[in-house]
Amino acid sequence: MTVSDLVSAVKQYELTLTALEAAVTTHPSPQQVIDILMARDEVYAVRTAKTQTDKESLMMVISLDERLKKQSELITKLVKLADWRAIVHPPVEAWWWFLEPPTNKWDKFDWLWSAGSVTLLTASLSLVVDISSRFLTGVPDTLGAFTITTQSVLTLLAAGGALTKTGQETIERFLISLNIPKHFQNEVKFGFAFLLFLCLFSFRFSLPKIAIFYYNQGEQNYKANRLASAQSNYSRAIKLNPEDLKTHHRLGQLYERLQDFDRARAEYQIAVYGDFGKGYNNLARLYILDKKYTAAIALLTEAQKVTKDSQDKELKYGLLKNLGWALLEQKVYVEAENNLREAISLASDSAPAYCLMAQIRERQNDKKNALLEWEKCLAFATEYNADEYAWVRMAKLCLQTQQCLETKKGDD
């Protein structure tokens, strides 16, 4: 090999490199890349053949090598040098076969973006599990099934893409097809993970609003006497929003209607823990039916403190009526009457307070006023709930026989 051979090899190297540089703004091809690499191989071969090297050629090679390194990003985009190396098996000294994209200043943060992506995807999986468990009450309905399926598929696809080698390669190919630079790919992956987490997080905190939908469905079914469907709707609403005391109370009423008093008490108790006034009232009523009058009185007294600023007349009526009822059963007639009179002042057309007043008069052996109260009890009874049914029967019997007091003598 002679110096002229080196000069010729360097000249060919320069020509192929200049052609690639000129094609940067047009459409460079893999063929141009292989031409450069082979030209550089020829320079390497000539120099390693004990050829004398003149200073001018050496400086030229150094300059061309610097220019070649500047094209490393373009070359690594055009071809996969790793695949080419597997065919050519170049020596380690042939650095041009081992070009890598230039290091970007943002690359030093890649570990942070990757860690953030994994953390967000893990949190997203946890949210999907939490949300899915809330919809899985009984047999999932259409909305529940769609929600569970959609969120699970999206999260599993995202997690699989980030946590498996095949998934990572697929995502990288997709990002490359979108012309996203490699040094920004980790940031984009983090952005996707954050967007998924944000959507799931927002959906998780919108569950109380979805719970309102199920509560309203339950109300429609309850009023239409479709109790099984109403129970399912109320239960699903509670799963979506366990702090909804109104729904707990309503479910308690449904269980009471089904004669499932243990479950009714449990729902009322939850409402009481949240200082829901109607929960106090209904739980106290069950205590009265269980003849736990002292517990009922304590509960109703506490309820009156909790609801002292309430404008709900129906609730206040119920508390006064039930307190009068419990006191009646404890034979504290004067205080019982005071509470019932106050209840009547709030709702003078409601039967229960009159029915209880009639029983006070009977136990006081006041036949005339007992009959008057029974007449009001019967006159205002519009629906026969469990309590009113028994009282209305007593009212009819007393008014028909005019001898109500005969069965009550000796009570006091």
Residues 204-254: tens digit of each pLDDT: 888 899 999 999 999 999 999 999 999 999 999 999 999 999 999 999 999
403 token code pair = 């001898």
CB-count burial class (<10 Å; 0-12, 13-18, 19+) for 389? exposed
Distances (CA, A) of 381 to 348, 350, 369, 402: 12, 7, 18, 20
Residues 125, 159 contacting (CB under 8 angstroms): yes
Instruction: Summarize the confidence of residues 113-121 as an average pLDDT.
Output: 79
What rounded mean pLDDT belongs to the chain?
A: 83
CATH number for the domain formed by residue range(s) 275-346: 1.25.40.10
d(CA 245, CA 275): 9
Using left for φ > 0, alpha for ψ between -120 and 50, and beta otherwise, residue 350 falls in beta
pLDDT, residue 203, reads 83
pLDDT, one tens digit per residue, over 332-387 is 999 999 999 999 999 999 999 999 999 999 999 898 899 999 999 988 887 666 67
Q: Is the pLDDT of residue 124 over 60?
A: yes
> Mean pLDDT lowest for which of 24-33, 284-293, 401-410?
401-410
Per-residue pLDDT band for 270 (boundaries 50, 70, 90) equals very high
d(CA 133, CA 335): 50
Residues 374, 362 contacting (CB under 8 angstroms): no
Distances (CA, A) of 377 to 351, 370, 385: 5, 10, 13
Q: Is the pLDDT of residue 159 over 80?
A: no
pLDDT, residue 172, reads 59
> Mean pLDDT lowest for which of 30-44, 102-116, 263-277?
102-116
d(CA 326, CA 292): 9
Per-residue pLDDT band for 408 (boundaries 50, 70, 90) equals very low
Per-residue pLDDT band for 84 (boundaries 50, 70, 90) equals very high
Instruction: Summarize the confidence of residues 286-298 as an average pLDDT.
Output: 95
Instruction: Summarize the confidence of residues 244-265 as an average pLDDT.
Output: 94
Report the share of the chain in percent with pLDDT over 70: 80
The dihedral formed by the CA atoms of 350, 353, 354 and 355, expressed in degrees to the nearest 10: 110
Q: Is the pLDDT of residue 320 over 90?
A: yes
Q: Which amino acid is at 223?
A: K
Q: Is the pLDDT of residue 45 over 70?
A: yes
Q: What residue has token string 């905190």?
A: 205
Instruction: Summarize the confidence of residues 287-311 as an average pLDDT.
Output: 93
Q: How many residues does the chain have?
A: 412
pLDDT, one tens digit per residue, over 178-200 is 665 665 667 777 787 888 888 88
pTM (predicted TM-score): 0.61
Residue spans per domain, the chain:
3-102, 106-205, 275-346, 349-412
Q: Is the pLDDT of residue 288 over 50?
A: yes
- More reliable by pLDDT, 12 or 138: 12
Distances (CA, A) of 55 to 43, 117, 150: 15, 53, 68
Distance of CA 230 to the CA centre of its chain: 23
CB-count burial class (<10 Å; 0-12, 13-18, 19+) for 156? middle
d(CA 234, CA 212): 10
Residues 404, 370 contacting (CB under 8 angstroms): yes
